[in-house]
Amino acid sequence: MEKFLSFPISGSTTQLVSATGIVLIRQASSTSTTISYKGGSTGTDVVTIAHASVSNDDFRDFVQSQVAAALTTEWTKPVYTVNPPVAVTSITVA
3-state secondary structure of 27: strand
* Residue ranges making up the domain that contains 70: 4-93
Rounded CA separation 35/24 (Å): 6
Contact 9, 39 (CB under 8 A): no
Q: So what's the pLDDT on residue 5? A: 98
3-state secondary structure of 68: helix
Percentages helix, strand, coil for the chain (3-state, rounded to 5) are 15, 45, 45
Report the chain (94 residues): mean pLDDT per 10 consecutive residues: 95 94 96 91 86 95 98 96 97 93
Confidence at residue 44, expressed as pLDDT on a 0 to 100 scale: 79
> What pTM does this model have?
0.92
| Number of domains forming the structure of the chain | 1
What is the reported pLDDT for 25? 98
